[in-house]
A and B are shown apart, each in its own frame.
Chain A
């Protein structure tokens, strides 16, 4: 279970970094989204993987840590807002610079 989860994070990060290094804005935005998915999953895993346990401390039974879930929620909201912003900014750059290259220096389309 841990191995699968860790591998998923790794694949998402690898794809995200690869796409974020591309020259056009659309792949870059996709790469940033993949990275933020990877980060959300990673944050969720920091509370350790526990199944069927209540998120309450006290008592001797194993418990699930509720804090990472609250952190992930915050990270998702922030990540969502930032992605929306970067999409709009990319569209504006496409309009103002005449192409969708991140440096604005590709051939005019």
Chain B
């Protein structure tokens, strides 16, 4: 049993608590603590990725209680990939925030660390109730982070977000309670065993709880028709917060993948078949997100709709429930998270240089750095719309290849039409911001290196993902085949040894 597994949870927790103590006494030290902890997550995530890359499951028994009686943390290829992605996005978002955005409200660094604690915990836990607890931790931190910087726009969006997620939490608890009443366990591996052996008369209850879980996770992942909160919240959040939130919808997608492959596998001996709605819902989400991006009147809202589009694309791949589909989704997932995070930060740079017009698509004074920001925007737009040669194109290509010609019609039509619509929306946004200017002289000061660097790095990682596409695809493929063989996960968890 390796103690590495608990560190991605302990590190942000310690940093968060330390920041809480420092809040009154030494607010300056908070920045250093937050930066050290977030930077520390990166080597830790790489270490865990190396641990998981061989295909071994690592299991950590909290309090040394054997599964299924205690809570376990489980690391597999998917969790390791998502931990690394979280560490990358969080570090770059924090670097951007240190330019002054963290001082626009109280307690930014405490909440930021608690948010990371919740996200890392949700990716690692192997217990359904513990997943609920980590969801609540990341949610309550995100409620406050969404309001960071205050203002009526944020308060209105935040109220909807909070009320919707409180309803979601209630549904989550009802689903967990129903599953516990049927099976008498909450450990995900043990649940999988008990559900496969459940009596036929319990099939309806199992189906209900699986659908309730789909609703809850769909709310986090912005699955249609539960996506309506997202554009307002992401479009109004402070830039580094919005960049960090790019990973939040992926927590919902991760939970859908985990439950649908492990707890309710369609190929099991007692199939519950609750995820049959997923392919159609995913494509509808994609279509609605694409239409929304076309109709946005602000750049940040447009990017928020691109997040909806990416959720739809990812779930369309996952809903294939075969190696090719999940591989495509797992390659596309880091790409879309990095690119949307980079675009959120870039939109903030653009808004700062346009004065009162901010990121609205109406004529404004020219930007102070039209060439630099223009090149970055072009790069981000090419990656987000899925044009060759960047990683978005490769991800979509893998997705299109994952379906057999007979059943390809709807997927191909919606994915290609969605990309085309996104392309139109992005090029219209770019031409209005960069070319349709009025007056002379920029309204804002040019951005300095500390502000530009995180954006360049986030968008540059998309280029890196293109260059290293072969190893990343191999890893995604290995992760997908690991996910589709839940037997090994169950054995690893239920037969894991405690530390002496």
- Which residues, 173 to 189 on B, are CB-close (under 8 Å) to A? 173-174, 176-178, 180-181, 184, 186
Contact B152 A42 (CB under 8 A): no
Rounded to whole Å, the gap between the CB of B232 and the closest CB of chain A is 11
Q: Which of A35, A47, A102 contacts B159 (CB 8 A)?
A: A102
Cβ contacts under 8 Å, B150 to chain A: 96
Are A96 and B167 within 8 A (Cβ)?
no
Contacts of B159 in A (CB 8 A): 25, 89-90, 93, 102, 104
**Are A104 and B173 interface neighbours, CB within 8 A?**
no
Write out, one digit per residue, whether chain A residues 61-95 have a CB within 8 A of any chain B CB (1) or not (0). Answer: 00001011001001100110110011001101100
Minimum CB–CB distance for A75 against chain B, Å = 6
Q: Is the CB of A32 within 8 A of B177?
A: no
Q: Chain A residues with Cβ under 8 A from B136's Cβ?
A: 78, 82
| B160-177 vs A, Cβ < 8 Å mask (1 yes, 0 no) | 101100110110011011
Contact among A20, A68, A78, A104 with B156 in the assembled complex (CB-CB below 8 Å): A104
Do B152 and A104 have beta carbons less than 8 Å apart? yes
- Say yes or no: A20 contacts B177, CB within 8 Å: no
B496 CB within 8 Å of chain A: no
Q: What residue of chain B has the Cβ atom nearest to residue A41's Cβ? A: B177
Q: When chains A and B are docked, how far (Å) is the Cα of A75 from the Cα of B181?
A: 16
Closest Cβ neighbor of B158 among chain A residues = A89
Q: Given B133, B162, B174, which contacts A42 in the complex, CB threshold below 8 Å?
A: B174
Check A39–B156 contact: CB distance below 8 A: no
Is A103 in contact with B170, judged by CB distance below 8 angstroms? no
Q: How far is the CA of A90 from the CA of B147 in the complex (A)?
A: 13
Tell me the count of chain B residues lying within 8 A, CB to CB, of chain A. Answer: 29
Q: Does B140 contact A (CB under 8 A)?
A: yes
B178 proximity list for chain A (CB < 8 A): 46
**B217: Cβ under 8 A from any A Cβ:** no
Q: In the bound complex, do residue B163 and residue A43 qualify as a contact, i.e. CB atoms below 8 Å apart?
A: no
Q: In the bound complex, how far is the Cα of B169 from the Cα of A102, in angstroms?
A: 19
Contact B140 A35 (CB under 8 A): no
Task: Collect the chain A residues with CB atoms within 8 Å of residue B147's CB.
Answer: 89
Is A97 an interface position by the 8 A CB rule? yes
Main secondary structure of the interface of A (DSSP, over half): helix
Binary interface encoding of chain B residues 245-263 relative to chain A, with 1 for a CB under 8 A from any of its CBs, else 0: 0000000000000000000
A3 to chain B, nearest CB (A): 16
Q: In the complex, how many residues of chain A place their beta carbon closer than 8 angstroms to a beta carbon of chain B?
A: 35
Q: B393 near A: Cβ within 8 Å?
A: no
Is A78's CB under 8 angstroms from B133's CB? yes
| B 119-152 contacts with A by CB, 8 A | 129, 133, 136, 140, 143, 147, 150-152
Q: In the complex, A45 Cα to B170 Cα: how many Å? A: 15
Residue of B nearest to A25 (CB): B159
Among B140, B176, B186, point to the contact of A85 (Cβ < 8 A).
B140
**In the complex, what distance in Å separates the CA atom of A33 from the CA atom of B184?**
27
A92→B155 contact, CB < 8 A:
yes
User: Between A and B, how many residue pairs show CB distances below 8 Å?
Assistant: 86
**Among the listed A45, A65, A86, which residue makes an inter-chain contact with B163, where contact means beta carbons less than 8 Å apart?**
A86
- 1/0 contact trace for B290-302 toward A, CB 8 Å? 0000000000000
List A contacts of B129 (CB < 8 A).
71, 74
Q: Residues of B contacting A43 with CB < 8 Å? A: 173, 176-177
B164 CB → nearest A CB, Å: 10
A86 touches B162 (CB 8 A): yes
How many angstroms from the CA of A38 to the CA of B162 in the assembled complex?
A: 19
Please give me the residue from chain B that is nearest to A44 by CB atom.
B177
Q: Report Cα–Cα, A11/B163, bound state, in Å.
A: 21
- Shortest distance from the beta carbon of A28 to any chain B beta carbon, whole Å: 6
Q: Is the CB of B166 within 8 A of A97?
A: no
In the bound assembly, the distance between CA atoms of A79 and B180 in angstroms comes to: 20
Q: Are B173 and A82 in contact (CB under 8 A)?
A: no
Q: Are B167 and A32 in contact (CB under 8 A)?
A: yes
Neighbouring A residues of B163 by C-beta, 8 Å: 20, 28, 32, 86, 102
Asked if residues B170 and A36 are in contact (CB atoms below 8 Å), the reply is yes
Q: How far is the CB of A8 from chain B (nearest CB, A)?
A: 15
The reply to whether B152 and A97 contact each other, CB–CB distance below 8 Å, is yes
List of A residues within 8 angstroms of B166 by Cβ: 32, 35-36, 82, 86
Complex CA gap A74/B129 in Å reads 10
Shortest beta-carbon distance, B28 to chain A, in Å? 28
Q: In the complex, which residues of chain A have a beta carbon less than 8 angstroms from the beta carbon of B133?
A: 74, 78
Give the A-binding residues of B (Cβ under 8 A).
Answer: 129, 133, 136, 140, 143, 147, 150-152, 155-156, 158-160, 162-163, 166-167, 169-170, 173-174, 176-178, 180-181, 184, 186
10 closest A-B pairs by CB? A46-B181, A46-B177, A96-B152, A39-B173, A104-B156, A43-B177, A35-B170, A39-B170, A96-B155, A46-B180
Known A81-B140, A82-B140; 9 more pairs at CB < 8 Å: A20-B167, A39-B177, A71-B180, A75-B173, A78-B169, A89-B158, A92-B155, A93-B156, A97-B155
| CB-defined A-B contacts under 8 Å, sample of 26 | A20-B167, A25-B159, A32-B163, A35-B170, A36-B166, A42-B177, A43-B177, A45-B177, A48-B181, A65-B184, A67-B180, A68-B177, A74-B129, A78-B169, A85-B140, A85-B162, A89-B155, A89-B158, A89-B159, A93-B156, A97-B152, A97-B156, A102-B160, A102-B163, A103-B156, A104-B156
